[in-house]
């Protein structure tokens, strides 16, 4: 059970207690009425409210129905006539007019849509509750048999005159309220489309029911026989039906889709990036809805391009995948209680906006990736400079320092007349110098291979292939390409062959470079043990950044035991 369902169950149990308690009070005080019908009317508001809370969370009709039920039973508790609870029970009971008007006017979205509606609704609450409040403050308990035994707050108030005038106003305002209520309904009808009018049918059923109940009231009688009793029972049954009409309306998909009508209207004005999720959350009445966009490479991102998980591991959420022309458009992670058709219909209604936002999300994710890769390129550049400095310091510089000491020794030997030793010293000096020159040459080649600049990819690749301890089959043409493309291809081959030497345990390797269309395809394969991971180790991820920087793509296939294939695809044109 989800926490929401527990809440709904709790509401049902509390409400049942409140309703049974109310009937117990009525029976114990000898109130003559049909207790079953009274119980059924209030309880049907509670039950309808609980169902609405469970199935349409976020829609205010559920709480409104529950409050209606609460208010319904206040009359029963008034029979207790004790203590300070009495005024409050009167006030809550007086709220029933407002609650019922609110329920009808807010159907089916749960929201009042115009200022006029809000005004009428507020009046429906304030006028009866205010009238009750004032009468409680000013009543003369000595002249009123039914008055609660609570002293009026202002007993010296000129109550008789005021109360009379006030009830005149209230009496007339009741008619004004009813008229305004029907004006609201009529205005809603007038501005609705044909489909929306169809959706409002249950509302009219409720309005007719309410008119019937209150219109027939003067003819009703609780005497257990004759026409009056029939009318009274009919009225009670009609009132029981009110919440069920609302529940039917809320649960029928067609009406749930009327919320989609609101979404379509909202989408007619430009939607700010990221706002679409909020609109869908409101339409589906699921504040936690997640909108995930496919990136095309198996990753999913939200509207801001942040990675999201479209398959939640817990059963509290469900994922609905929406496709367009066979391609995934969006994944909606939502409350499992939601009707899948409603979710799909919402996504369909928001199709264009979703597509738009998907492109935005893709762009943002790419921008994030570009920023990250730019940072990695800068870091890799710094690391490379540190490596060159260290290589220079530890290699050639040490040899040159030794040379300076060697030459100083030779000078001393000459000065001391040790001629025989000088030749040996100079011989060793020459060896040290040759080593220093070799080291500098290797270092320079590592920074940028001259053969690549002078002779192109073919000879450059042949040179690095020649240093790999296993046979390497090289298939590279003589064409020249733009320097950035040649350098990138060279470093892809160089890094991939270095991995063959260091990790692959291969017996053969192959390098193929060919231009197909506007792209240079570079492929390095081996028959080694495989298992290379492009995400781990800076070598391959550094290569990916390098390849992306020239607008290319890098792929690595390396299953365990099946060898490794590194493929780079670089956009290029032939250099004349």
Positions that interact with another protein (CB under 8 A): 393-394, 397-402, 404-406, 408-409, 412, 432
Show the 3-state SS of 480-521. Answer: CCCHHHHHHHHHHHHHHHHHHHHHHCCCCEEEEEEEECCEEE
State which residue, 399 or 546, has the beta carbon closest to another protein.
399
Nearest distance in Å: CB 392, another protein? 10
Nearest distance in Å: CB 411, another protein? 11
Give every CB contact of residue 204 below 8 A, 6+ residues apart in sequence.
185
| DSSP letter (8 states) at residue 307 | B
- Count CA atoms closer than 13 A to 133's CA, side-chain side: 8
Nearest distance in Å: CB 406, another protein? 5
What is the rounded CA–CA span in Å between residue 303 and residue 268?
A: 19
Nearest distance in Å: CB 409, another protein? 5
- The two three-digit tokens of residue 92, written as one number: 């809550």
Nearest distance in Å: CB 389, another protein? 10
State which residue, 393 or 505, has the beta carbon closest to another protein.
393
State which residue, 409 or 501, has the beta carbon closest to another protein.
409
State which residue, 172 or 408, has the beta carbon closest to another protein.
408
Chain mean position to CA 408: 75
Nearest distance in Å: CB 390, another protein? 9
| Helix residue ranges, H only, 73-224 | 74-77, 85-94, 96-106, 115-138, 159-191, 194-199, 201-216
- The two three-digit tokens of residue 531, written as one number: 């298992």
- The two three-digit tokens of residue 258, written as one number: 């009327």
State which residue, 140 or 389, has the beta carbon closest to another protein.
389
State which residue, 221 or 435, has the beta carbon closest to another protein.
435
State which residue, 76 or 425, has the beta carbon closest to another protein.
425
List phi, psi (to 5°) of 371: -60, -45
Nearest distance in Å: CB 537, another protein? 23
How far lies 446's CA from each of 388, 432, 443, 511, 540, in Å?
9, 21, 5, 20, 17
């Amino acid at each position: 059970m989800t926490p929401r369902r527990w809440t709904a169950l709790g509401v049902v149990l509390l409400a049942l207690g409140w309703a049974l308690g109310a009937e117990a009070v009525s029976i114990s005080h000898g109130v003559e009425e049909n207790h079953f019908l009274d119980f059924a009317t209030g309880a049907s508001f509670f039950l309808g409210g609980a169902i609405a809370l469970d199935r349409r969370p976020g829609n205010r009709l559920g709480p409104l129905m529950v409050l209606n039920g609460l208010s319904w039973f206040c009359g029963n508790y008034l029979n207790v006539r004790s203590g300070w609870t009495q005024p409050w029970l009167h006030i809550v009971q007086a709220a029933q007019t407002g609650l019922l008007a609110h329920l009808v006017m807010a159907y089916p979205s749960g929201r009042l849509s115009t200022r006029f509606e809000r005004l009428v609704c507020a009046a429906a609450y304030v006028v009866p509750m205010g009238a009750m409040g004032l009468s409680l403050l000013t009543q003369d308990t000595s002249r009123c048999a039914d008055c609660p035994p609570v002293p009026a707050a202002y007993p010296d108030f000129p109550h008789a005159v005021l109360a009379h005038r006030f009830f005149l106003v209230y009496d007339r305002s009741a008619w004004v309220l009813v008229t305004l209520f029907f004006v609201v309904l009529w205005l809603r009808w007038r501005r609705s489309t044909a489909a929306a009018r169809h959706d409002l049918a249950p509302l009219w059923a409720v309005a007719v029911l309410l008119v019937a109940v209150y219109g027939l009231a003067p003819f009703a009688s609780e005497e257990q026989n004759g026409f009056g009793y029939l009318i009274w029972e009919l009225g009670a049954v009609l009132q029981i039906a009110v919440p069920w009409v609302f529940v039917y309306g809320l649960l029928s998909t067609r009406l749930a889709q009327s919320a989609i009508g609101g979404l379509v209207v909202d989408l007619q004005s430009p939607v700010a990036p990221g706002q679409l999720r909020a609109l869908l959350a409101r339409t589906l009445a699921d504040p936690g809805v997640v909108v995930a966009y496919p990136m095309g490479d198996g990753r999913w991102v939200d509207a801001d391009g942040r990675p999201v998980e479209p398959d939640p591991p817990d059963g509290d959420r469900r994922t609905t995948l929406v496709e367009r022309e066979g391609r995934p458009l969006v994944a909606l992670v939502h409350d499992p209680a939601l009707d899948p058709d409603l979710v799909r219909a919402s996504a369909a209604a928001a199709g264009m906006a979703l597509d738009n936002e998907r492109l935005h999300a893709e762009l943002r994710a790419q921008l994030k990736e570009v920023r990250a890769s730019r940072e990695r390129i800068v870091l890799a550049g710094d690391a490379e400079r540190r490596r060159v400095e260290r290589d220079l310091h530890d290699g050639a510089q040490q040899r040159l320092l030794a040379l300076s000491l060697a030459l100083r020794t030779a000078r001393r030997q000459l000065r001391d007349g040790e001629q025989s030793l000088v030749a040996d010293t100079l011989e060793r000096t020459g060896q040290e110098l040759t080593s220093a020159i070799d080291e500098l040459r290797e270092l320079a080649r590592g920074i940028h291979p001259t053969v690549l600049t002078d002779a192109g990819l073919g000879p450059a690749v042949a040179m690095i292939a020649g240093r790999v301890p296993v046979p390497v089959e090289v298939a590279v043409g003589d064409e020249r390409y733009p320097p950035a493309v040649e350098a990138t291809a060279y470093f892809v081959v160089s890094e991939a062959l270095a991995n063959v030497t260091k990790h692959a345990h291969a017996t053969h390797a192959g390098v193929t470079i060919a231009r197909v269309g506007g792209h240079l395809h570079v492929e390095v394969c081996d028959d080694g043990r495989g298992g290379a991971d492009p995400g781990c180790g800076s070598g391959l991820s550094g290569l990916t950044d390098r390849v992306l920087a020239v607008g290319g793509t890098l792929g690595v296939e390396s299953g365990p035991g099946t060898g490794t294939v590194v493929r780079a695809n670089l956009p290029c044109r032939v250099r004349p």
